[in-house]
Chains A and B, each alone.
Chain A
Amino acid sequence: MKKTIRKIFDKKHISRTISYLVVIAGFVIIQLLMNTIGIKSLFRSLLVPTCCYIVVALALNLVVGVSGELSLGHSGFMAVGAFTGIIISGLLEPYLAINWLRLLIAMFVGGIMAGIVGLFISVPVLKLQGDYLAIVTLAFCQIIKSLLNNVYLGVDINGLHFSFVENRISLAQGGRMLLSGPMGAIAITRLATFTAGFLLILFTLLIIYNLTYSRFGRSIMAARDNRIAAESVGIHIRNTKMLAFVISAILAGMAGALFGLNYSTLQPAKFDFNLSILILVYVVLGGLGNMTGTIISTMILYALPELLRGLQDYRMLIYSIILILIMLVTNNQTLKEKTENLITKIKSRFLKKGSVAHD
């Protein structure tokens, strides 16, 4: 028991503990607010997407931060997860009335499908390096979007109907379209809840931390920092990176399923290259490999354009300026030194006071 407690708070694991604490505290605070004074509908509607983006950002951080490969294709995995999830949930609806179970199954299948696509993509992708890898993930993301734009899927009493490029489906009475090409899925039953989002974040953290603090995590970071050295000590780089990539895809797919089931309409165009970029911004601003930072930066940056709503036309302009300034400030050497000096000064003053009190 003592050992576990020490393990939670020792230096090595403190960042992990903080991550969990931040997430749980956030959940508790929001739940309390919701049940006591109430929160604005706008804020409530941001909860589930924020959770989804946090999970995708964490998943992307596993690839970009931990594994060291730049992926611009995570919106594609989200899309696969989202539309799989929507289809599964739509198909199960007549047979399974328990919403949370249907959501769980949809997320599970969505994750698996995204994982399969991720596995398929990772074979060619991981043959490449650096920016070439980035462009290929981007290309896959475009391909996925483009293909989804051409899929028509309907269900009626005779079963499933599928058609590609052109919609040739004519449904029997009582049938309905699950996917209609560029129009996407319409009239989805909204299943997503904030609690589900919260649990998914915890699940994601659990997976990512267990991976990074394991033998696998050490080998993948070794491969990131020095490929050749890692290879020479017998680490199979391709397999390690592939595992990280596929797990990341699965998590992104699960988040996608949750995301898809949070809206009543979803179009493939939503999951474009810009979404991948958006998530990448969350990851970079939160800090590569820093999971707590990713969570917090996603929360702030996702909410920011919504908070700026009052400024109307200028909101995206201000958002972009903030983005540039953050990058300039956080990478400014003199400023960095100054803040560090300031922090150490404050720290020493507080410590002094503390020691005086002890005396």
Chain B
Amino acid sequence: MKKIITLLLVSLLALSSLAGCNKPGEPEAKTIKIGLSGPLTGGAAIYGVAVKNGAELAIAEINAKGGLQLEINMQDDEADATKADTAYDFLLDWGMQVSMFTVTSGAGSGVAPRYDEDHIFALTPSGSAPALVYSDTKVYATTFQMCFSDPNQGVGSADYIKEHNLGTKVAIIYKSDCVYSTGITQKFVDRAAEIGLEIVFQGAFDDSSATDFTTQLQGAKAADADVMFLPIYYTPASSILKQAADMSYAPIFFGVDGMDGILTMDGFDTSLAEGVYLLTPFAADATDDATVHFVTEYQKAYGEIPNQFAADAYDVVYALYQALVAGGVTYDMTAQEIADILIEQFTTMTFDGVTGTSVTWAANGEVSKAPKAVIIRNGVYVNAE
């Protein structure tokens, strides 16, 4: 009984702290508020942290110029769609005017319809699933992508393997509970059937078995696969490379953009990745001015080499900045007014960043970047064309 009353009092306290109203007459806004959510804790936190770092670096640079001031608020969603939903509401309360959407596809597909309904502009750095920009029945007007989409990568990879005669028998290892991985795999398989690429083995794994690949590798080896397509992130990919080497199995490995980052993994033996192909919009060792500047600044700030998530986030902030300035957005505009301006800007402008030059966006929100294949030689990316 006493317990109940104490609990009641505590809950009332909790309630009162949650309730509140949007006070009128807030101090005049001096920044554009950019919100986003991503995994800052949990298994996918590495992507969230990279995006956070990249975005904060860009914002620090932009704010130092003294022009339009930006402010960022990143909420943790643990790459979970329902948590992203809550984070979205938190950001609404905070007064988000523009959004960087979510870091992961799984979380983003949950909030995409809400951005559309509430008419808030959102540009995701790394959510590559089509479900972020359109569904079976409708195109979300306000959501845009900075990274190339999954179908694009699946088709691109199949074409590349076929055109360059990398091999005749393809094995695939993919992550069955990941929107990104299954999305690419499906397109790859469809495309392979169209162009006559033989797939001899398909092995799946999920979160609970993301470390042990010996069985799948043995299956692929038994099927005599000479190319192994890995539409997965680099953490499991590094284990696959290692375990394949352990069993003296050496097909040509072909990864997609998630493979990026494998060379900068703490303690990874880069010789294992020798000869691996991957698709990436960003190579940290490129020599153009923009990339060099970004990589050195990033290293100065965070002490590590940026991966493509950080690069995409960096570009997202600059693309938003470019559009905000070009559209003449002011601090006091509502999110909906800004959305109208940004939609018009993004469908008409071209953008140059570290992950691509002359980038444009289609009306449905997809980016025009083409997947580019690179091969790893002596521990660096070399253009594979």
Contacts and interface: CB of A to CB of B under 8 A. Distances in A.
Interface of A: 18, 22, 29-30, 33, 37-46, 49, 149-150, 167, 175-177, 181-184, 186-187, 263-270, 287, 290, 292-293, 296-297, 299-300, 303-304, 306-307, 309, 312-313, 315-316, 339, 343
Contact of A22 (B3, B8, B14): B8
B19 A265 contact: no
Given A44-B89, A176-B136, A303-B18, A183 B186 contact: no
Of A29, A43, A312, most buried by chain B (CB within 10 Å of CB) is A43
Contacts of A264: 110-114
A186 B18 contact: no
B176 A312 contact: no
Contacts of B81: 184, 263, 265-267, 270
A42 B186 contact: no
Contacts of B85: 45, 263
B22 interface: yes
A186 B93 contact: no
21 contacts: A38-B22, A39-B21, A41-B90, A41-B93, A42-B18, A45-B89, A46-B18, A49-B82, A149-B206, A150-B176, A183-B109, A183-B179, A187-B137, A266-B81, A266-B82, A269-B207, A270-B80, A290-B4, A303-B14, A315-B76, A316-B41
A40 B176 contact: no
Contacts, number: 138
A182 B315 CA distance: 30
Contact of A292 (B4, B21, B93): B4
Of A40, A46, A268, most buried by chain B (CB within 10 Å of CB) is A40
A115 to B, nearest CB: 24
Q: Is the interface of B mostly helix, strand, loop or mixed?
A: helix
Contacts of A40: 18-20, 89, 93
Nearest to A25: B8
Contacts of A186: 109, 131, 135-136
Given A49-B82, A307-B14, A167 B186 contact: yes
Contacts of A41: 89-90, 92-93
A299 B11 contact: yes
A335 B131 CA distance: 54
Given A45-B89, A313-B41, A343-B2, A29 B109 contact: no
B273 to A, nearest CB: 27
Contacts of A297: 7
Contact of A42 (B89, B131, B135, B206): B89
A83 to B, nearest CB: 14
Nearest to A14: B1
Contacts of B88: 45
Nearest to B178: A182
Nearest to A175: B136
B355 to A, nearest CB: 26
Contacts of A315: 76
Contacts of A313: 40-41
A188 to B, nearest CB: 9
A277 to B, nearest CB: 15
